[in-house]
Amino acid sequence: MNIDKVLDAKGLACPMPIVKTKKAMNELESGQVLEIHVTDKGAKNDLTAWAKSGGHEYLKHEEEDQILKFWIKKG
């Protein structure tokens, strides 16, 4: 997968990961992929719902050493 931008939102609590994700996504072109790193467990539901409501494609997520990683393709 080609990653166009990586967002470090570790240590941030809701709603900041979504706020930062929205800002980062605005800097991308349609079809580009944003990789997001968060530690807030609530971000999984938040980012999934946010991507869907914003017309973006939620690609996948993984957890590695207490860090959640998400990949979202801009719609």
Q: Which residues are catalytically annotated?
A: 14
Q: What is the DSSP string of the chain?
A: ----EEEEETTPPTTHHHHHHHHHHHTSPTT-EEEEEE--TTHHHHHHHHHHHTT-EEEEEEEETTEEEEEEE--
